[in-house]
Structure 1
């Protein structure tokens, strides 16, 4: 049935995103549908073609994934986060069978993968030309499908599983800068109830600070610190309106059902700060310790208490 059994992910087959999706209990038994970009995967959720999607959000070495941040504050059907998945990331250099390391002149990979492997490339393949692909698996597939001789690329940097998936030979493994690199993925759905509180929860919001008020962000953060609510992630993203105008992505330890988290969110509303509530959700496969149109305003006269109640009931409740 349309939209009930398909989960979108950043493809093609063999990406780290697919590995993250396979760790998501809610997706068990679903059809896994690869999409070429983060935007197209999330659009499949917005249109109802897929019940949910898993996309990358942040890498522990190379930072945020811009396409995902942009999609979460863009217009259209509201989206919500309902799970976080962390996946250890390792990289291998792979090529068509018969290729030797000395034969490699052109390498294809994703920007994050290249960023984590550029020291190895500089020392072992100093003359190699590197080009960028939409994903590591897309790079592996391109290399596998390129006829030799005359191929556009000699090798790809991708997850080791991609070598088996696309019939490539591994020329070198463990080529990333850090053995403990991790990528954080999020499960994204359309409207619906929030996941129940588990005791291993995170709450994600986006707030928009007034660029003319130099202490705006400090005031926002103080609402959490004074209530003992831990902040695990802060990321700025331009609104596009003017220099100095930013959305701030904030991750909080705890669930919206918890008193301290709810009080902090209501305090932001009393300040008339624009708040986009992205969701309260559990960790899945994470090493961290336990503890929509996002900018469409609520109807005039909505109180902070009523706003918090609507969040807890699962209704989309963006800005002031």
Structure 2
């Protein structure tokens, strides 16, 4: 699927920039210049091959649907960027196409990111990788949190403002798939700092999502639905779906639900960020248990 590479160019650019900055910081300017040169050659080859194969800067230049508007019509023929802002949370909480509708554990991503931002940066050790990992568990350094959160935010904003739609008969999260592994790392870091009961609740949420995936697979194999059309089958991911807004309809109840989720997520972010700032010097539950067992 060559068009997928175009959707991920902003994330690739963010990773390239971070790579250059980290090399410049930890090595020499010559190493950073060599990396910039290699990336420039790769980028030029990428564009040249697109011009040769598809006749444009993107694969959309070869699409019949975009002959009138041009290849960049894939962003939208008359995009309403303020209106697209609803996707910032819609990508997470939309009833059919939001991540949390199909895997409730993704609701942990926003407070986890807020906690990482609120955490006091740890000094980055220059010794072995194991020491760096221990430092990350205590509190990510500025470089570590930047490497995680900048690509995640770039992918999220690309899906919000550049992608033509967050909906469609494909599957939820398709615009975010390239950065979701980073989101998993952020969630796991935060969950590792929580109490055992809170970790159990997170495990229950993740298990609920696995159950939903199992139902979708089973119904697909049984011929009751197609996996492409699964997002429109609310019976496949109830009852949580009824607590989420339908951003395609935006009836009065949907607006109310969207507002309530916005407030709830904002409060969760404020609480977790504040908690990390006030407990920055305390050991994590895992660290406390390790010390007790010694």
Question: TM-score, normalized by length of structure 1?
Answer: 0.20
Q: Which has the higher contact order (CA 8 A, sep 6+)?
A: 2
Question: TM-score, normalized by length of structure 2?
Answer: 0.21
